[in-house]
Structure 1
Amino acid sequence: MVTIGDVAKAAGVSRSTASYALSGKRPISPEVTDRVLAAVEQLGYTPNAGARALRTSQTQVLALFARFVEDEFAPAMLEYIKGVTDTARELGYDTLLVSDEDGPGAIRRLSGSQMVDGFVLLNVAEEDDRLEPLRSVHRPGTLVGLPGDTHGVDVFDLDFEASGRLMVEHMHGLGHREMILVSQPEDVVRRGGAYVWRLADTAKAKADELGVDLHHYFAASSQPGIGEDLHRFLDAHPHATALLLNNEGAAAALPAVLQERGLSVPHDLSVIGRYSDVFARTFSLPFSAIDSAADRLGRHAVQQLVDRIEGRIDAAAPHTVELIAPEIHDRGSMAAPPAV
């Protein structure tokens, strides 16, 4: 394994000079620093994490709390994880993935052991039991997901309330007066998945305001259940002309359901979902959608966290709550309803 001594020898300097050139603890001439950096690149030297932690009180490691829950669509969760880990790597940080069922205990354990510099939380619930310990430890934290109480943490999420309104408004503007909204399974709501009811409640309020008949259903997140659910909803409302999807599994299953029913989009049924461009490409989905912004949320969360860790944001500065405004990516699946 390459050591700092090897780097020093290759650069023609002492160990201490090589160390100071890399840490910035003492001024080193640009010429010497360049020689040290060239030796680092040539030898493939990686500083020892333990030694770095002793020197700087930082580990350059972020803890990412994420769980793959059986009744949620796993590929969607991977997009959020990728956004976090890619950005962390670009900023010089490694990521420790934590899926412990005891989230509060894991936060206390990792903070007490000084294994990580900060925390990123996914799967955020309305009343999330990880927030109290996160606020009490001496490490900053950011959330991808909006809890009921945002005190003491930086929060980044899609504006799901605005998304629900936008879905209904857009379809109404095209002339649709009867719609079906398909949400995540009810278990997600019982766990505190507030994004489900935030979108559904505002969609219903906007539908009532506009005189739209909106039928709201919870559905399975995977086959065969989701396919059966979609058939059942369409059977129950044969005059509905628009389908709104806040369920990635439903979007992935819908092409097969439409083919089985002999329906075409948007001639027979207009469709809008809520998922990312990456998701649409992965599953070859032709449906218009509000971008879930998974990658952007991960990037914003990690950048904010690293700025706090590295002191670019004052410790006393107010915490951020950033809700990304919804944007529709039109793939041609929405049009005026068929003439009666």
Structure 2
Amino acid sequence: MVTSRDVARVAGVSQSTVSYVMSGRRSISAETRKRVLDAIEQLTYQPNAGARALASQRTQVIGLVVRFRPGADTTGLLPFIETIAGCARAEDHDVLLVTADEGSAGLTRLAGRTLCDAIVMMDIEADDARIPVAASLRVPVILIGVPDDSAGLHCVDVDFAEAGRLAVDELASAGHDRIVVIGHAPDVVERDINFVRRFQRGADAAADEHGVAIELVSPVPPNRAGAEDAVREALARGGERTGIVVPNSPAVQPVLQALLDRGVVPGRDVSLVGLCTDASAEASTPAVTNVSLEPRDVSRRAMEILFRLLDRSGERPTELVELIRPRLTRRDTTLPAP
């Protein structure tokens, strides 16, 4: 097995110099650094992770806690996970993905066994029992989501209230005097996931400003029958100028299909705005007018803050809550303004 001593011998430097080049903790001349890196490549040296962790008191691992439940939008989670992993690798860290719903015990296990240097938590409930435990851990924790009380933890998320306002503004400008929100799955509603109420508050406020009626169809079972029932109820409630908002990303395509199956064409007979990624909106037929979720921007910003928290010598971020502004992109499923 190749060791750092072998690298030092080939490069003609001390073993400590090899360590400094790899850790970046001391300034090393460009020439010496190149000799060390060339020796590492020549010998295909890989540092021992356990030894490095003992020396630095760091694991070089970020724990990502996201609960996978039946009916969860795993496709929607992928951009978050990809971006978090990419940001971690750019900082020479790996990601330990924890998907089991262990609650507070899972957080304690991660931190207590020194399995990671920091933790990213997703799937945050408005009143989340894990938050007080997370705030007491000795490792930095950042939330993707905004609970009612973050207990001093840093949070990053899309501005869901603004997303609700953007959706209603678009439908009101298209001349709709009644808007129906087709809501979330029973599990999401029951657990009171943080973004549900935030989106609805923004939508309600915008409807009030425009003087239009707004109604909620919820919960919506995550299957074809659930989407069909929700569409039937939305059309019965909506009147002639129906505007539909679907803040439940996995339901956007089933709702669109349920409308088409009834001979109702979004963009001609009704307007539909979905809360989903741009890629998902563009791939639909017809292409869906959407408010973007900005998963990569949210994840990137969360990781930037997390590594600032890990940098003991750096300046800590002062804002506890950072909201990424969403965008509305008009496509084929909304009527033109009258």
TM-score (norm 1): 0.90
Deviation at 1:240, TM superposition (A): 4.3
Distance 1:196 1:19, change over 3 A: same
Give the counterpart letter for 1:174 in structure 2.
Answer: A
Shift of 1:157: 0.9
2:235 aligned residue: 234
The C-alpha deviation readout for 1:133-157, integer Å capped at 9, x for no partner, is: 2111111111110011123211111
2:224 matched to which residue of 1?
Answer: 223
Instruction: Give the conservation status (yes or no) of the 8 Å contact 1:73–1:222.
Output: no
2:275 maps to which residue? 274
Q: Give the corresponding residue for 1:168.
A: 168
Asked if structure 1 preserves the Cα contact closer than 8 Å seen for 2:62 and 2:94, the reply is yes
Distance 1:25 1:169 in 2: 52
Stretch of structure 1 that moved more, 7-16 or 121-130: 7-16
Question: Does residue 76 of the first structure (1) align with residue 88 of the second (2)?
Answer: no
TM-score w.r.t. structure 2 length?
A: 0.91
CA change 1:313–1:221 in 2 (3 A) is: farther
For the residues of structure 2 that align with 1:25 and 1:147, how far apart are their CA atoms? 37
Please list, as runs of the form range in 1=range in 2, the aligned pairs for 1:121-132 lying within 5 A after superposition: 121-132=121-132
Please list every run of 5 or more consecutive structure 2 residues that lacks an aligned counterpart in the other structure: none
Alignment of 1:292-303 (within 5 A): 292-303=293-304
Q: How does 1:78-157 map to 2 (within 5 A)?
A: 78-157=78-157
SS at match of 1:203: helix
Q: How many residues align?
A: 337
Deviating more after overlay: 177-186 vs 6-15: 6-15
Could you tell which deviates more after superposition, 221-230 or 251-260? 221-230
Give, in whole Å, the separation in 2 of the partners of 1:42 and 1:103. Answer: 46
Identity fraction in percent: 33
Structure 1 pair 312–70 and aligned structure 2 pair: CA distance change class (3 A): farther
Do the aligned partners of 1:71 and 1:188 also contact (CA within 8 Å) in 2?
no
Would you identify which runs of 4 or more consecutive aligned residues in structure 1 move more than 6 Å? Answer: none
Contact kept in structure 2, 1:71 and 1:220, CA below 8 Å: no
Aligned equivalent of 1:329? 329
Whether contact under 8 Å (1:7, 1:36) holds in the other structure is yes
In 2, Cα distance between equivalents of 1:290 and 1:25: 44
Which shows bigger deviation, 288-297 or 201-210? 201-210
Equivalent residue, structure 2, for 1:290: 291
**Deviation at 1:312?**
5.6
Post-superposition offset of 1:202: 2.9
Q: Which amino acid aligns with 1:251?
A: V
Instruction: Identify if the C-alpha distance between structure 1 residues 337 and 241 changes in structure 2 by more than 3 Å, giving closer, same or farther.
Output: farther
RMSD of aligned C-alpha atoms?
2.3
